[in-house]
Copies of this chain bind each other. A is one copy, B any other.
Amino acid sequence: MNIAVLGYGVVGSGVVEVIKKNKNSIALRAGEEINVTRILDIRDFPDSPDRDLITKDPEQIFNDPSIKIVTETIGGTGVAYEFTKRALMSGRHVVTSNKELVALHGPELIQLAKQNGVNYLFEASVGGGIPIIRPLSECLAANEISQVMGILNGTTNYILTQMRKHGKDFNEALKEAQMKGYAEANPTNDIEGFDACRKIAILSSIAYNEFVDYREIHTEGISKITSMDMQCAELLDSVIKLIALSKKAGDKIYVRVSPMVISKTHPLASVDDVFNAILVKGNAIGDVIFYGQGAGKLPTASAVVADIIEIVKNVNANNRYNWERRPYSNVADTKEMETQLMIRTVIRNREEARRFIVNNFGDVRFLNLDFPGSEDQLVFITERNTERNLMEKAERLKGIASIKEVANILRIETE
């Protein structure tokens, strides 16, 4: 089986490496040998061991009838989209790690694949090498899935772990992540939750068997988290994690990406550094968790190559997803969900502020802060209520003389 790799970046070169490295065992599992016969990239790689395969001319791939599978590891939604459409329309299977493209144009590309009797597979788009897309769609197929909850972004998880374990502040931890290559020069996509947002959109679409558009997902990042917040969470025997959460209740789908305070006894609390984990709740299986490296060259390549093997083994099997765009939104407002909040305020007058908070929120629990810098801080936990009600009450804190600032509001995981 001849395949072409579009995009010779980190993942693309990893795909070529894995296919070479594990040639024999892959052939055994796939039933035939898999060869990369062409690599498309606009850059020059004079020192690459694969330089003889690299071309700048896409026609060398699209005019070669021996190439039946194309790996799209270009990324983005521009030329990647054009090449993917062209490959599918020419009757070639496409395998990708491109979460942006799947989240944006998944319904069209899946439809196009079906029309052309080929597959569009994207195991590598979520969770790096962690098997999650196929287990969710196949192994848990007997379940109605009610919840998917995950730590889906390694960069932010690394930053939060550094902040918690070593008392670093956000900018310091971010710089370290950049130095180690875990964060990009422009880290917005990771730290503002946009990457996790696309991933939970894809997982939700698989879990509930209906397309969830990432643009409808409420998304918050971690750039506002301070080490003061971390210490407050610690007082609650909890940690702060960037959580992608998706729930199905009746016909409604609630999806949100936001930092959350989660108890140390929660199975996701111990997922540290660049690791990812996904907790799935099914009505037969109960809770199941998938854990591993959510990014990186070889783990992600491993997932891409698994999709390639799957296609080679079942070359006539057809795409299995039913993603259709709807004329109405299927994503409900997460403000309707019940939660508790941890609210951190900076105060001018402690007694007056406490009195106002109690009058305003009713039953709250004030944290007993005793660490340096906490002298002007007043932090409390609200009772459980809808997010809408709680946020309205929090809004009222803003005009109060005794309260200088509402420094942060964090949701607490309460299930």
Contacts and interface: CB of A to CB of B under 8 A. Distances in A.
A142 B282 contact: no
Given A25-B209, A135-B135, A142-B306, A129 B288 contact: yes
Interface residues of A, number: 56
Contact of A123 (B21, B139, B143, B317): B139
B305 A138 contact: no
B134 A139 contact: yes
A34 B101 CA distance: 34
Interface in A301-335: 301-306, 308-310, 313-314, 317, 320, 322
Contacts of A286: 129, 292-293, 296, 298-299
A237 to B, nearest CB: 15
Contacts of A303: 139, 142, 285
Interface in A106-127: 123
A29 B302 CA distance: 26
A320 B29 CA distance: 8
A301 B29 contact: no
10 contacts: A18-B142, A22-B142, A131-B131, A141-B306, A142-B302, A284-B298, A286-B292, A286-B299, A289-B291, A290-B290
Contacts of A138: 131, 134, 306, 309-310
Contact of A306 (B140, B309, B313): B140
A198 B352 CA distance: 67
Contacts of A129: 282, 284-286, 288
Contact of A131 (B283, B288, B291, B298): B288
A291 B299 CA distance: 19
A255 interface: no
A130 interface: yes
B298 A293 contact: no
Interface in A260-294: 267, 270, 282-293
Interface in A121-161: 123, 129-131, 134-135, 137-144
A228 interface: no
Nearest to A293: B286
A79 interface: no
A225 interface: no
Contacts of A343: none
Given A129-B285, A285-B129, A29 B209 contact: yes
Contacts of A299: 284-286
Given A28-B322, A209-B25, A292-B287, A139 B131 contact: yes
A298 B144 CA distance: 12
A134 B131 CA distance: 10
Interface string A188-230: 0000000000000000000001000000000000000000000
